[in-house]
């Protein structure tokens, strides 16, 4: 056999190894910085990388195309929040290739499951289907449709997580209709889903007008209650000119166990979330 079988259990491992070997074999020719991008910034077949300047982005993109070509890989479907970078990329390698950089808006794309608007350089959420029955199965199905690995919506989904836990406590069946009290909470939450696309989070931690960075601070907060415990992280950046940028990094929120620990114990559990 001269190729690996598509879909085999070993395929992701083999693909990752092939990428790293290509980087190792061509590190001398293209430089350690470019090879490190291949080794560290690929997520299966997606490459995500940020640079400080447009010139660095263009140089890195062209070198990556050439380096990966050495191993038989075609790096394509480029997308950037900078039109100058896209102009430097061969048209057939852009996403989409028919994009008119002088007239068209930069496209909206999915990046590791998150929706990314390249024009505004923001993450956002799309509307999801709510045509599910008001049962435990239907509520869980709608909640699971919200893909939020960084916890942007943690405070928003917490009431429904608590509702599901209450349904478990009441031993409600998967396809039993929820009672009036729980139904009211569910219907009010469904109404607010229409405002979900209004939630937009800046992708970059730095303000565009910031000069040379002076200090970078990581601030972690955690707390607990009888319903849930949570942790959140922010980065605070101060440049040499006194400009300040505060950005959300990640949040985590968990339901309290049905067998309630003490509040001090829950606060310790919340604190451990902030260190992960």
Q: What is the pTM of this model?
A: 0.78
Q: Write down the pLDDT at residue 161.
A: 93
SS3 of residue 52 by DSSP: coil
**What pLDDT, on a 0 to 100 scale, did the predictor assign at position 208?**
72
The pLDDT score that the predictor gives to residue 85 is 93
Determine phi and psi for 234, rounding to 5 degrees.
Answer: -130, 150
Predicted pLDDT at 242 = 82
Q: CA 164 to CA 139: how far, in whole Å?
A: 8
Q: Are 105 and 119 in contact (CB under 8 A)?
A: yes
Q: What are phi and psi of 256, to 5 degrees?
A: -65, 145
Give me the pLDDT at residue 276, please.
Answer: 65
Q: Which residues of the chain have pLDDT under 70?
A: 103, 274-276
- At 154 the pLDDT is 92
pLDDT at 165: 92
Could you tell me if 110 and 116 are in contact, meaning their C-beta atoms sit under 8 angstroms apart?
A: yes
Q: Is 160 left (phi over 0), alpha (psi -120 to 50) or beta?
A: alpha
What average pLDDT does the chain have? 88
């Amino acid at each position: 056999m001269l190729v690996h079988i598509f879909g085999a259990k070993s395929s992701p491992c083999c693909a990752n190894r092939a990428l790293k070997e290509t980087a190792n074999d061509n590190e001398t020719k293209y430089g350690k910085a470019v090879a490190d991008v291949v080794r560290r910034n690929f997520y299966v077949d997606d490459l995500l990388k940020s640079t400080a300047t447009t010139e660095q982005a263009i140089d890195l993109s062209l070198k990556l195309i050439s380096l990966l070509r050495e191993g038989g890989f075609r790096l394509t479907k480029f997308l950037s929040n900078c039109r100058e970078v896209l102009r430097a990329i061969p048209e057939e390698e852009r996403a989409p290739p028919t994009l008119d950089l002088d007239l068209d808006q930069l496209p909206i794309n999915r990046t590791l499951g998150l929706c990314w608007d390249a024009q505004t350089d923001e993450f956002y959420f799309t509307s999801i289907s709510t045509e599910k029955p008001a049962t435990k199965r239907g509520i869980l199905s709608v909640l699971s449709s919200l893909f939020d690995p960084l916890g942007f919506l943690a405070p928003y989904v917490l009431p429904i997580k608590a509702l599901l836990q209450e349904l478990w406590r009441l031993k409600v069946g998967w396809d039993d209709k929820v009672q009036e009290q729980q139904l009211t909470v569910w219907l009010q939450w469904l109404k607010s889903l229409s405002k979900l696309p209004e939630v937009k989070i800046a992708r970059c931690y730095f303000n565009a007008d910031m000069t040379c960075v002076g200090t970078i601070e990581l601030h972690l907060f955690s707390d607990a209650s009888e319903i849930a415990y949570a942790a959140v992280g922010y980065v605070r950046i101060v440049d040499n000119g006194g400009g300040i940028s505060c950005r959300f990094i990640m949040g985590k929120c968990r339901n309290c166990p049905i067998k309630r620990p003490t509040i001090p114990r829950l606060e310790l559990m919340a604190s451990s979330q902030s260190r992960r």
